[in-house]
Amino acid sequence: MILAPSILSADFLRLGETIEIINRSEADWLHLDVMDGVFVPNLSFGFPLLKQVAKVAKKPMDAHLMIVEPQKFITQFRDLGVRFLSVHYEACTHLHGIVRQIKDAGMKVGVVLNPHTPVEVLSDILDELDYVLIMSVNPGFGGQRFIPRSVDKVQRLKAIINQRKLKTLIEVDGGINLETGKLIIDAGADILVVGNSIFKTSNPEEMLQQMKTSLK
């Protein structure tokens, strides 16, 4: 099980300290939620801040692009050192071409599905993907309540992956805590994005360790 804390839920006035906590913790990846205020009704952060994060981050960076026209920025994320880059199915008219661009740039590629989008839409491109990110909340804001039907989506996607003998991983983002994390892992997920359940506690490092241990 891969654990990917999202800095969207962190205290931005103490961001350097937060990155250091993640660096020395049981976390596996560092999740970056990039929003443009167009595809989703919120803004997060841009390249000036991401460059500062990249200087101190020791965990592999996993960037989730909630933006229109993500193809314009692929090389910039590569140059930052991002290892995993995911784009939304709903934002990409020419999804296959963008997937190939990300691969050609040397990064692992994922496609993100909003809560209303069925996993079956990826049937013709699933074998091209390193991972699929299932949103278990509506994208744009942290701290939302987990959507229970996400468990069924993970199960359905896992069945397709197994049937086709693929190595595609399943990542889930939104409302993940010890309880919902167990449901998702049992359904077949490989990667959990965690936010408020970590950074709203008094000891984020201890909570990351607890999740890593109890959700194996």
Tens of pLDDT, residue by residue over 147-162, are 999 999 999 999 999 9
Least confident piece of the model among 6-15, 84-93, 119-128 = 6-15
Per DSSP, what are the bridge partners of residue 43?
A: 36
> According to CATH, what is the number of the domain 2-214?
3.20.20.70
Q: What's the pLDDT band for 137 if we cut at 50, 70, 90?
A: very high
66-70: average pLDDT: 96
| CB-based contact 132:157 (threshold 8 Å) | yes
- Considering only CA atoms, give the Rg of the chain: 16
pLDDT at 20 > cutoff 80: yes
Alpha helices in the chain (DSSP H): 15-24, 47-56, 74-80, 95-104, 150-163, 178-187, 196-199, 204-214
Given this model, what pLDDT does residue 143 score?
66
Catalytic: 124? no
pTM of the predicted model as reported, rounded to 2 decimal places: 0.96
179 CB burial (10 A radius; 0-12, 13-18, 19+): exposed
Closest of 195, 204, 177 to residue 21, by C-alpha: 204
Across the strands, what pairs with 169?
A: 131
70 within 8 A of 39, measured Cβ to Cβ: no
Instruction: From the candidates 28, 33, 36, 190, give the one annotated as an active-site residue.
Output: 33
Cβ–Cβ < 8 Å for 99, 128: yes
- Under the banding of pLDDT at 50, 70 and 90, the label for residue 140 is confident
Q: Report the alpha-carbon distance of residue 146 to residue 180 in Å, rounded.
A: 7
Query: Residue 194's Cα: distance from chain center in Å?
Result: 9
**Per annotation, catalytic residue among 28, 36, 62, 173:** 173
Number of other CB atoms surrounding residue 14 within 10 Å: 12
Q: What is the pLDDT of residue 139?
A: 84
The Cα 125–Cα 66 span in angstroms is 20
**pLDDT of 205 strictly over 80:** yes
Domain boundaries, the chain: 2-214
In three-state secondary structure terms, 41 is: coil
Count of alpha carbons within 13 angstroms of residue 19, beta-carbon side: 19
